[in-house]
């Protein structure tokens, strides 16, 4: 089986993405990036889910806090109960997916893999510039001039974004069919000390609505308020 690198956070989207890479016939190698998240629960979830799906997990540290400019790296407050609009949210991390795909590309080149998976979504995350098809296409073009393997003709990199045009409910239905253990995944931007979801941030609300619309039982453990 050919190897593929899957950018992986232990969240609902990237866990579904990993299951799709397996379904596509690849041996998925999960790559998680410790990028100065506000909480470590995300990486604990990544370890649980990767183990459950039988994928090796590599964790790379990248201190995006040093760059700043985002609620997710500690500079700004995570908004609660705010309308989910089309403007760019404060949880946007400057150039985050560019950095993550660069690391995935380096890891793929080291492994001899040509296929990269990223669970970005242009429907629910329409406000994030680096979750759009234009971004994915531009990165694929870059990958094929940036690496020794591509320049020497040993690799033709493909960036797979299988969730790009799916709504949250469709993602959950697809993942449920593939046996993704959603009870182990973690999506909340601002969990409590025990790692329970806040239920109020954008990510929690999109997730909860997705389970409702998909008519799939929601296994998320919410923080009592």
Q: How far apart are CA 97 and CA 101, in angstroms?
A: 6
**Cβ within 8 Å of residue 53, ≥6 positions away:** 15, 18, 19, 22, 28, 180, 181
* Token pair recorded at residue 84: 């989910």
Closest CA to 173 of 213, 122, 136, 119: 213
Q: Which residue number, 151 or 221, has a Cβ lying nearer to a second copy?
A: 151
Least spacing, CB of residue 222 vs a second copy, in Å: 30
Distances (CA, A) of 150 to 141, 143, 214: 11, 8, 40
Q: List the interface residues with a second copy, window 109-128 (CB under 8 A).
A: 109-110
Q: Which residue number, 159 or 180, has a Cβ lying nearer to a second copy?
A: 159
Question: How many residues belong to the site for a second copy (CB under 8 A)?
Answer: 45
Q: How many CB atoms lie within 10 A of CB 216?
A: 16
Least spacing, CB of residue 30 vs a second copy, in Å: 13
Q: Per CB under 8 A, which region of 47-55, 58-66, 174-182, 209-217 contacts a second copy?
A: 58-66
- The reply on whether position 193 binds a second copy by CB under 8 A is no
For the window 137-176, what string marks contact with a second copy as x by the rule CB under 8 A? -xx-xxx-xxxx-xxx------------------------
End-to-end CA distance of the chain: 47
- The reply on whether position 129 binds a second copy by CB under 8 A is yes
Exactly one of 8, 26, 92, 189 binds a second copy (CB under 8 A); that residue is 92
- The reply on whether position 202 binds a second copy by CB under 8 A is no
Least spacing, CB of residue 150 vs a second copy, in Å: 7
Q: Which residue number, 112 or 219, has a Cβ lying nearer to a second copy?
A: 112
Cα angle 220-224-225, degrees, rounded to a multiple of 5: 130
Strand, helix or coil for residue 117: strand
Find out whether 189 and 146 touch, Cβ atoms under 8 Å: no
Q: Per CB under 8 A, which region of 6-14, 59-67, 177-185, 190-198 contacts a second copy?
A: 59-67
- The reply on whether position 3 binds a second copy by CB under 8 A is no
Least spacing, CB of residue 169 vs a second copy, in Å: 27
Distances (CA, A) of 158 to 5, 27, 54, 143, 164: 11, 15, 23, 8, 15
């Amino acid at each position: 089986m050919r190897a593929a690198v899957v950018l992986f956070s232990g969240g609902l989207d990237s866990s579904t993405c990993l299951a799709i890479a397996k379904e596509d016939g690849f041996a998925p190698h999960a790559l998680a990036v410790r990028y100065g998240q506000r909480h470590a629960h995300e990486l604990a979830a990544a370890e649980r889910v990767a183990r459950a799906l039988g994928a090796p997990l590599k964790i790379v540290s990248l201190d995006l806090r040093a760059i700043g400019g985002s609620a997710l790296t500690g500079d700004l407050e995570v908004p609660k109960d705010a309308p989910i609009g089309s403007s760019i949210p404060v949880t946007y991390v400057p150039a985050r997916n560019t950095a993550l795909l660069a690391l995935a590309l380096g890891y793929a080149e080291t492994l001899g893999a040509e296929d990269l998976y990223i669970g970005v979504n242009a429907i629910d995350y329409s406000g994030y510039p680096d979750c759009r098809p234009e971004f994915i296409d531009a990165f694929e073009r870059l990958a094929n001039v940036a690496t020794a393997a591509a320049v020497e003709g040993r690799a033709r990199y493909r960036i797979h974004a299988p969730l790009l045009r799916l709504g949250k409910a469709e993602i959950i239905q697809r993942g449920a069919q593939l046996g993704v253990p959603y009870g182990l995944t973690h999506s909340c931007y601002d969990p409590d000390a025990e790692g329970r979801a806040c239920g109020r941030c954008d990510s929690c609300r999109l997730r909860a609505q997705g389970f409702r619309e998909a008519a799939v039982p929601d296994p998320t453990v919410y923080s009592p308020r």
